[in-house]
């Protein structure tokens, strides 16, 4: 009988220990706010640089008066130099932010953060941020690739290239808006 009481007491103590352990608050992983700030600053600065009005004007180029609809596009030497400067500036912005302390995709994918901006509050999911960063990369590559195409053709575009530039110009605002919507609702 005494063994039964000791066994019951041991089982009860073990149950209390397990219950106490289960009731302890879980240690929350610390969220690296600096990583979120780094992503926020990069998206903000790069989208502003990619949608800059002078970049757009320089991508539009000088147009020829004697072609219907001012096509194909033409870029004189001065305009090509300005485009090179835009490309260099975009590269500087990218290097400034992506060097060093920028979080990895693995880190970002684990994010589930409540973000508050003004009166708006939402749950920021890391996967959404990764998608926005990839879209930003594609837009950067498309713009810098277009600049390379213009410079490589010495400013003399054909109709297909001109249409590519015009399509890019039409797509910048919607792309920037979609990218920024992840962090700036």
Flag the least confident range among 35-39, 70-74, 92-96, 105-109.
70-74
Whole-number pLDDT of residue 63: 55
pTM of the model: 0.80
CA distances from 58 to 111, 128, 137, 144 (A): 38, 32, 21, 13
Residue 104: pLDDT over 50: yes
- Select the more confidently predicted residue: 68 or 181: 181
């Amino acid at each position: 009988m005494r063994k039964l009481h000791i066994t019951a007491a041991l089982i009860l103590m073990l149950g209390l220990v397990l219950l106490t352990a289960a009731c302890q608050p879980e240690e929350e992983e610390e969220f690296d706010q600096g990583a979120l700030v780094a992503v926020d600053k990069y998206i903000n600065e790069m989208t502003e640089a990619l949608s800059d009005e002078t970049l757009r004007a320089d991508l539009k180029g000088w147009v020829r008066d004697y072609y219907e609809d001012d096509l194909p596009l033409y870029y004189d030497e001065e305009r090509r130099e300005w485009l090179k400067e835009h490309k260099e500036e975009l590269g500087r912005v990218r290097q400034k932010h992506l060097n060093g302390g920028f979080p990895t995709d693995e880190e970002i994918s684990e994010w589930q953060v409540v973000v508050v901006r003004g009166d708006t509050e939402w749950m920021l999911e890391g996967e959404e941020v990764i998608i926005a960063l990839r879209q930003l990369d594609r837009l950067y590559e498309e713009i810098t690739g277009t600049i390379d195409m213009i410079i490589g053709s010495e400013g003399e575009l054909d109709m297909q290239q001109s249409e590519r530039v015009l399509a890019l110009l039409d797509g910048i605002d919607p792309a920037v808006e979609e990218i920024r919507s992840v962090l700036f609702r």
